[in-house]
Chains A and B, each alone.
Chain A
Amino acid sequence: ETGVTQSPTHLIKTRGQQVTLRCSSQSGHNTVSWYQQALGQGPQFIFQYYREEENGRGNFPPRFSGLQFPNYSSELNVNALELDDSALYLCASSFSGTGGNTIYFGEGSWLTVV
């Protein structure tokens, strides 16, 4: 167990709707990142949060947004859902400052857009 928990595990949304995914980081970790993994592909970096501020973003449009809370938990929000947003969304937590990249993933949230 990595100590990173995500909810919900599965959900189905209709095109055009909005979705919020949640993540609770491993204890002691102050950095959270979100990744999108399409079927048969490796995870793609969406963005990272450190001290409640966005600290790096991948090639995703602004309708992908996030929050990090003082307890280091996090949310991923996706507006105006498109069919191509169907994927496994992974939350990853780590501790910034160790000089390494020991990054642990949760089990993910499966999103299906119909």
Chain B
Amino acid sequence: QKEVEQDPGPLSVPEGAIVSLNCTYSNSAFQYFMWYRQYSRKGPELLMYTYSSGNKEDGRFTAQVDKSSKYISLFIRDSQPSDSATYLCAMSEQGAQKLVFGQGTRLTINP
């Protein structure tokens, strides 16, 4: 079993829709939770960073962490074609710099 599970998709939604992306994990020591966006043939770009449980909002993006369920989510409101990319969840333990990634979900927003 992988430490971090993420549905690879692909996920295709119309422009303006609310997108929900999710990851589950098995390591209860994870304390830091991140979402990265990766455009085709580019490096991952840090979108959201959350410590422990709770919600964090940044513009159209909201990240949620539920440590009791070992479940994290990223919501994208008013989705745009430019949001089309692969979204990677990543996690790490306290004091560790190593990130453990999910497989990534490929998202397409259709105009």
Contacts and interface: CB of A to CB of B under 8 A. Distances in A.
Given A101-B49, A103-B46, A110 B41 contact: yes
A86 interface: no
B41 A45 contact: no
B8 interface: yes
Nearest to B51: A100
Nearest to B89: A42
Contacts, number: 72
Given A42-B88, A100-B49, A101-B92, A90 B104 contact: no
Interface residues of B, number: 26
A25 interface: no
Nearest to B91: A101
B53 interface: no
Give the interface size bracket for A toward B: 20 to 34
A41 B103 contact: yes
Interface in B87-105: 88, 90, 92, 96-104
B107 interface: no
B59 interface: no
Contact of A56 (B42, B96, B100): B96
A45 B100 contact: yes
A107 B46 contact: no
Nearest to B98: A45
Contact of A2 (B43, B90, B97, B102): B43
B49 A94 contact: no
7 contacts: A33-B98, A43-B88, A48-B98, A56-B97, A100-B32, A103-B46, A103-B97
